[in-house]
Structure 1
């Protein structure tokens, strides 16, 4: 009886061991672990999501962001603070800035890529980041740099961006290369962030394809806003796989099924996990293609307070 039990125990041990080896070989064990925890990556947030809140109360907003679980942020401006003041506010909240959005044309006191790049790089580094991102293209002067009489800002923005041609995108690529070469010497890398108008046809290609093809991979990287990619009717995972190595950052953004493919800055936004994007497929695909910085971003309109929406998105991503 004892001999028989010993044999059974040994057989069970061998079966369990074989199952463990099989699970390790197939990745079954790793698959059970949440994506961000498994990769040792923080879940970041683009502060544009909380723009009005941050403008009213930066310290309170950053404290709420940290309480929601976020540890890294991407700036959409300095909200009237100096880089040093902003860094102090981040430190107080226990947050780290890893990227800063910088306009191609100066649109306020924060300056732009067409200004003093030494001052700009100093500001990026002072806040704690090493990455600058141009969030939209430089609009050609021929299209008008301000809304026409009676035209609202949103309508003007849609009009001029959808009117850009292939030469305009090539000029933006040249601009990115030029500015990126200067910023690199200061230790700041330059990237480009897409919306959905970059995917509008330009003959046999698109604006985004021109930017990727015409920019130097050693100088310019890309931040894929997957919500806007999907809003253009393009599969975000396929887009990032196609450009493996060029996309190193992602805006984690979801959209409702009611969104119709378009190139006109239109989407029906929602919290991460409440929309149509398949995050279980997209996140690993993005990581395999070289994405290492992930920032939650949600567009207006919001159905609840912005910080509540940001918390919902964080909680979903922490478990997916």
Structure 2
């Protein structure tokens, strides 16, 4: 964003500048730069601070008017839905309107995955278009790859370990099929004006058959059809630098999950992290957020994983306060 230089109303700009001492000109120009430097990141780029409603857990849908009113009071305006929250699209849209909020994206899980719900990426395109249209949304994001066929934990195995093992066993072919499905569904929904994306965890970055699931998704999805929602918490948990990650994938990143992690988070590929409130962890937001914007990110959604050390809505408020004051 360029700065507007001052103008002299009576004199030509060059004449006015020539009449100033070098020191005075420095003070004026320096003051303008200082004022610009005091602006917060989101104010500077003209984008709202959003939130993924998943952050608030199951409680969010129990009294949707109260939930949305509190989010509006905090200062949020842009929402990403994890699903329909057990409501009709019309009821959700009406509640958002009452609170002065808008939806800009919704997660559309692959059919058959746990928690898929009634609306999925594999639903009839007309049904998806009708539901998203009622919500005022034209963007849908697959929240995770479909689980491998016959996925089930082994005896004594926890869910995270089971997921990591099953994706590793499924091999490169599973990611190729996922990429093909994303291309097909994005092409089917494009005539309705719906944009499709994919949200990463850290399982995508595990080595598999000489590559990674992520590299397969990036190389085998059509960049004109499929975009990415970058969750920097999971990028960090995979041992990667979010700034370098955004630079590498400029032009493919449309959404971002602003997620913080503690320094105790160990590199892994099995959905494990030590989460914390945004601004309280090790993420260098003053570097990450500008890199995300430069890479093409249009929507910034705060998201936090459990376990929480405070009520979820308080964590959302704490993160918003931090982000609203951040200079970057």
Q: TM-score, normalised by structure 1?
A: 0.90
Matches within 5 A, 1:162-173: 162-173=168-179
Q: Distance in 1 between matches of 2:182 and 2:283?
A: 30
Aligned to 2:74: 68
Aligned to 1:30: 36
Whether 1:213 and 2:202 are equivalent positions in the alignment is: no
How many residues align structurally? 307
Whether 1:96 and 2:102 are equivalent positions in the alignment is: yes
Matches within 5 A, 1:122-137: 122-137=130-145
Of 118, 126, 129, which aligns to 1:110? 118
Q: Distance in 2 between matches of 1:303 and 1:17?
A: 51
Show CA shifts across 1:67-99 (max 9, x none): 111001000011111111111111111110000
Aligned to 2:247: 241
Show CA shifts across 1:273-304 (max 9, x none): 10000000111111111111100000000000
Whether 1:15 and 2:26 are equivalent positions in the alignment is: no
* Unmatched runs of 5 consecutive residues or more in structure 1: 1-9
Change beyond 3 A, Cα 1:203–1:156: closer
Change beyond 3 A, Cα 1:186–1:261: same
Residue 28 of structure 1: CA displacement? 5.5
Q: Distance in 2 between matches of 1:204 and 1:159?
A: 17
Aligned to 1:78: 84
Aligned to 2:197: 191
Of 289, 306, 312, which aligns to 1:306? 312
Residue 205 of structure 1: CA displacement? 2.2
Residue 196 of structure 1: CA displacement? 0.5
CA contact (8 A) 2:160 2:272 kept: no
Show CA shifts across 1:153-183 (max 9, x none): 5554344334331111111100000000011
SS in 2 for 1:267: coil
Show CA shifts across 1:236-262 (max 9, x none): 111111010001110000000010111
Of 62, 65, 86, which aligns to 1:59? 65
Whether 1:201 and 2:212 are equivalent positions in the alignment is: no
Q: Distance in 1 between matches of 2:68 and 2:117?
A: 22
Change beyond 3 A, Cα 1:272–1:110: same
Of 197, 213, 226, which aligns to 2:232? 226
Bigger mean CA offset, 179-188 vs 103-112: 103-112
Show CA shifts across 1:83-139 (max 9, x none): 111111111111100000010115554321222121012111211111100000012
Q: TM-score, normalised by structure 2?
A: 0.88
CA contact (8 A) 1:162 1:264 kept: no
CA contact (8 A) 1:66 1:93 kept: yes
CA contact (8 A) 1:256 1:275 kept: yes
* Unmatched runs of 5 consecutive residues or more in structure 2: 1-17
Q: Distance in 1 between matches of 2:313 and 2:21?
A: 50
Show CA shifts across 1:292-317 (max 9, x none): 11000000000000000000000000
